[in-house]
Amino acid sequence: MKAWLHSVRVLVWKDLLQEWRSRDILTSMLAFAVLSLFIFNYALELSPINRSEIAPGIVWVVMVFAGTLGLNRSFTAEQDQGCFEGLIMAVPDLSAIYFAKLLTNLLMMVFLAVLVIPIYSILYNQSLFNWAFFGVLALGAWGYSAAGTLISSMTVQTRMRDLLLPVLLFPLLLPVNMAVVKSCGVLLGSVAGQDINGWLNLLLVYDAVVTMLSIMVFEYVIQE
Amino acid sequence: MRLQARQVSKAYGAQRVLDRLDLSIDAGEVVCLLGPNGAGKTTLIRTLSGLQKPDSGKVLFGVEAEDENILKLRRNIGIILHQPFLYEHLTGMENLRFYSRLYETALDEGDLHRLMSRVGLGKTRPIPVRAFSRGMKQRLTIARALLCDPQILLFDEPYTGLDQQGCGMLNQLIQEESARNKLILLTTHELSFIRQIATRFAILHHGRIAAEFPNAGVSLDALQEQYSTALGAEKKPLMERL
Amino acid sequence: MSYLSILAFALVLFAFVRVLFFTPVEQTMGLVQKVFYFHMSAAWVGMLAFLAAAAFGILYLSRKDLKWDTLTAASVEVGLLFTIICILSGMIWARPIWNTWWTWDPRLTTVTIMAFTYIAFILLRRGVDNPARRARFSAVYAIIGFISVPLTFFSARLLRTIHPVVFGGGETEMNLNAQMVATLFISLAAFTVLYIALLLQRARLMAQQEELNQQMAAVDSDYDWGE
């Protein structure tokens, strides 16, 4: 177990260092997100009241789409430079590779949220600075990263790569999408006091189930 | 320490790449695996390292492989494949540092520097691997393979991308490791370099070891001769076989 | 023609005749309600096919025999067919009853997401050439796709309970007497047998196609190109 955690830590650090050097993924995700917010403004042209109601929806949709840019790149280094084999020979269990990538993708999504929230607040003149709201986004990002990491580890090995990721991933994300948007709506006060426990439970169950399942099947994805 | 492949078979669909292959290598030997393209040399190396499981047959490491701690076994194998296993945005030292930590070796900065020097990269500036030439990447890959001081070295076409000096460096390195009683198997097409250091040649053809002979100071021409003979009888035009 | 196919054909024909001529017309909805028997059966088969695909996937991962992979792929294809039939028949039924082609009803949402997952599965298989890798990926996706179905259903249902808005009609009562229930079960049984027959046919065809591809590849690689 200690060895497993150690390898996860080393792998995450390596990924973060790689990203810090190139800053490819984070900058494109951010640019995509901000531009999308602009597009939404003109596409939706809503009154302030309506706008506040759909804020969680817009923020989450922007994160989901921008997130695919990051997910598509998660395993390209491993695939193109053959690093999978180097890692397989080194880690105590292949699930460590999956979990480390999940954490890396999660951190990138959280980073994205940290930047999108203030930018949205400024552009749309509505304060989204709410810890609970951020917490739910993070939980949603966990579910997103859990499913996304598994799917991208498969699509990176196919011919179609980037093209295939959204097609495979989005049908699996419906529960996360619903749960995040609905509970955030309540938390921001735009939807009248409703019980969000159901949604939060659903989100936690999804995160747990998908993570556990992915840990179990990951070895079949990367090893011949 | 002995590495053995016993009746190993591997097929990709209807294509039999390895067909009940037997091979054994002892510590201190430098075995060179020869064979035409597509003969299955890479598949054999991957199977011996554990990256791929054979369809049937066994790979044994002195002791029965199943009992050994798989991780310890894997970390005791230094492998070089066609791709360099390197992270493009990190520098050479950072790549080594990463793998060294992942393998949980006890190497410190000094040791890593010495390893870099040993492969001829001691004087490189800290630039990302992206900017390395093919030869430099290959040298770094060799360094990476030696991080754990593994007992078994499996090198698939290690001379690729290396210049004359690099090939000389690799030869010297292999001789040093062999003198330390390591078990070395490599594949290559560079007959001129390999015949200086190999202890034995094995020719892989049609999924089996078609010929094996010791390297008794045989000349380059004789070697070519033996190689062609082993392959010669096998090629038949399609119509004859249908 | 195998015995199973003949049996399937006979059963479906029997169910069809029974639905049209030997089952009473439902009082609130009228004649169009009869689509329900086939709609429900198609939905049942869609779910069954998905479950079977996930089960075959697990069997492949543990046994590594490609015949399980063929069954997984065949099950998904047949399942997709029935799911589309289910959605279309549902739409045909909904239009006169609720005056709308689509509702965001939990079951409809779940079934449609299932259809998208099926399509994604087929696209995934297209994108991988190596048969062993394709089999592994298919198995993994079938399993994770299957697990997401109940999660999707519960989300959609949670949405419904929190927003009890009636979409163009909402939950309409349907009265079924004993005879209609019997017809429903006959229909379900007939469709299940049809599923199995189609599954085996499709699997057989896929296996033969794959074997042909392998033989062609082997011939190509053996060929002495005169070098």
pLDDT the model gives residue C172: 54
pLDDT of residue C65 exceeding 60, the answer is: yes
**What pLDDT shows up at residue C174?**
63
Chains that touch A (3 or more CB pairs under 8 A): B, C
- Counting residues of chain B whose pLDDT is more than 90, the rounded percentage is 34
Residues whose CB falls within 8 Å of the CB of residue A104, separated by 6 or more in sequence, listed in order: A11, A12, A15, A16, A19, A74
- Comparing A149-158, A175-184, A208-217, C162-171, the range with the smallest average pLDDT is C162-171
C31 versus A168: the higher-pLDDT residue is A168
pLDDT in tens, A38-69: 888 888 776 666 777 788 888 999 999 999 99
What is the distance between the alpha carbons of residues B164 and B182, in angstroms, rounded to a whole number?
24
Q: What pLDDT sits at residue B2?
A: 84
pLDDT for the residue numbered B239: 38
Q: Which residues of chain B are within 8 Å of residue C132 when distances are taken between CB atoms?
A: 12
What is the DSSP annotation of C213-226?
HHHHHHHHHH----
Instruction: List the domain boundaries for chain C.
Output: 32-163
Average pLDDT value for chain B: 84
- Whether pLDDT at A108 is above 50: yes
Cα–Cα distance measured from residue A178 to residue C200, given in angstroms and rounded to the nearest whole number: 38
Predicted local confidence at residue C90, as pLDDT: 84
ipTM above 0.85, yes or no: yes
Q: Which tens digit of pLDDT belongs to each residue from A173-193?
A: 999 998 998 888 888 776 655
> Could you please report the per-residue DSSP string of C137-151?
HHHHHHHHHHHHHHH
B18, containing H or E segment = strand B15-26
- Tell me if B83 and A14 make a contact (CB, 8 A cut-off): no
| Share of residues in chain C with pLDDT > 70 (%) | 88
In whole angstroms, give the CA distance from residue B167 to residue B121. 14
What range defines the domain where residue A144 resides?
A: 2-222
CA of C196 to nearest chain A CA: how many angstroms apart? 26
- pTM equals 0.88
The pLDDT confidence band at residue A161, using thresholds 50, 70 and 90, is: confident
- Inspect the interface and report whether the beta carbons of C116 and A155 lie closer than 8 Å: no
Q: Does A91 touch chain B (CB under 8 A)?
A: yes
DSSP characters for C91-135? HHHHHHHHS-S----HHHHHHHHHHHHHHHHHHHHHT--SHHHHH
> How many structural domains are present in chain A?
1
Which tops the pLDDT comparison, C227 or C10? C10
pLDDT at B222 over 80: no
Candidate from C217, C224, C226 with C-beta closest to B13:
C217
Give B46's DSSP letter: H
Q: Find the residue in C nearest to B37 (Cα).
A: C221
pLDDT digits (tens, 9 = 90+) for C133-153: 999 999 999 999 999 888 888
Distances (CA, A) of B55 to A106, B8, B47, C43, C59: 38, 7, 10, 40, 18
Instruction: Quote the Cα angle for B132-B135-B138, to 5°.
Output: 90
**Of B79, B101, B153, which to mutate for an interface test with A (greatest number of A Cβ within 10 Å)?**
B101
pLDDT band at A198 (very low <50, low <70, confident <90, very high): confident
Pairwise CA distance, residues B199 & C133, whole Å: 38
> Under an 8 A CB cutoff, do C218 and B13 touch?
yes
Task: State how far residue C148 is from chain A, nearest Cα, in angstroms.
Answer: 6
